[in-house]
Amino acid sequence: MKLHYFPSPAETNRLGTEELREAFLIGGLFQPGQVQAHYTDLDRMIVGAAMPTSPLALPNFKETGTGFFLERREIGILNIGTPGAVSVGGKRYELGNLDCLYVGLGEKDVVFENGSGGQAVFYFISTPAHAKHPTAVARKADVQGAPIGDPANANRRRINKYIHVDGIKSCQLVMGCTELDSGSIWNTMPPHTHSRRTEIYMYFDLGDQMVVHLMGEPQRIKNLIVHDRDVVLSPAWSIHAGAGTKAYRFVWAMGGDNQIFSDMDPAPIPSLR
């Protein structure tokens, strides 16, 4: 497991391209036959992926300081590949494309399994937890949000919420997926910051295209070139917005003081620099 310690806003403003990428971007997370994970000092969130070619157990890592991974944690798992399954305490949960599984504090045995005729690809986010909530599944068909945005501004999209106050219950984790319509490229514009929460993006379904991800303080914006299945780590003081060279999807996840989706600090477009 790789540890990520983050620079301050002032330090970030002095970083060059490669230093920015090293600090805020995770590439190569998805590896066949492996579980990969990164531990961040952003609200102690862990981001990871599993691509099982045979059953893969969720391992423990010494960085958690516990006897097993979910001893003091909760986890949200989204399948971005073909159908597969996750077993929790011996109970098997089938997950199709863009189905989400929540597993709460105290579960010792979590195993990722591939389906037949393809490759299940599991992306996960874990946050510290103080109480147990039951294991639960949210199907893509049941959470698909109404379209927002408009074609004239190239930002027609759907926000699908899986783990949130009105969906799957958790201690602090909030998780969902945004899908852009064909012909739309912009997400989250005008942007915002979260002074009380961390957010993590994972862009996917980009193929060989890219997203220009905007980050940093609203008056000192920097950019990261993001490719398929890259992860961007976004501190509370940073905006998080982007435009792609094609329509795409991204998973967003938050941890922090509250779970209110609309708790954000707007950064109006005329104020951006």
- Which domains, from first to last, does the chain contain? 2-271 (2.60.120.10)
Q: pLDDT value at position 144?
A: 85
Best CA proximity match to 222, nearest among 236, 205, 238, 246: 238
- Asked if the model's pLDDT at residue 146 lies above 90, the reply is no
Residue 48: both structure tokens together: 């990871």
Predicted TM-score of the model (pTM): 0.96
pLDDT > 90? residue 9: yes
Q: Which phi and psi (to 5°) does residue 98 adopt?
A: 65, 25
- pLDDT reading at 117 higher than 90: no
1-5, 51-55, 128-132, 232-236: the lowest-pLDDT one:
1-5
Residue 168 carries which DSSP code? Answer: B
Lowest mean pLDDT across 46-50, 95-99, 106-110, 188-192: 188-192
- Average pLDDT value for the chain: 95
The rounded distance, in Å, linking the Cα atoms of 35 and 18 is 26
Q: If you search the block for the tokens 């994972």, which residue do you land on?
A: 202
> What number is the average pLDDT over the span 49-55?
97
Q: Percent of the chain beyond pLDDT 70? A: 100
Tokens linked to 153: 């501004």
Q: What percent of the chain has pLDDT over 90?
A: 90
What is the rounded average pLDDT of the residues 57-76?
96
User: Is pLDDT at 155 greater than 90 in this prediction?
Assistant: yes
**Span 192-239, pLDDT tens digits:** 998 888 999 999 999 999 999 999 999 999 999 999 999 999 999 999
**What local confidence, expressed as pLDDT, does residue 196 receive?**
87
- pLDDT band, residue 256 (cuts 50/70/90): confident
Confidence of residue 34 (pLDDT cuts 50, 70, 90): very high
For residue 88, pLDDT over 90 is answered with: yes
Distance CA 79, CA 233 (A): 20
Please name every residue paired with 140 in a beta bridge, in sequence order, or none if there are none: none
State residue 59's pLDDT score.
Answer: 96
SS3 assignment, position 47: strand
**Residue 217 token pair:** 């303080």
Residue 264 and residue 192 in contact, taking contact as beta carbons nearer than 8 Å? yes
DSSP 64-104: G-SSSTTSSEEEEEEE-SSSEEEEETTEEEEE-TT-EEEE-
Neighbours of 5 (CB within 10 A): 9
User: Which sign, positive or negative, has the C-alpha torsion 227, 231, 235, 240?
Assistant: positive
The pLDDT tens digits for 166-196 are 999 999 999 999 999 999 999 999 999 988 8
The stretch 35-59 carries a mean pLDDT of 96
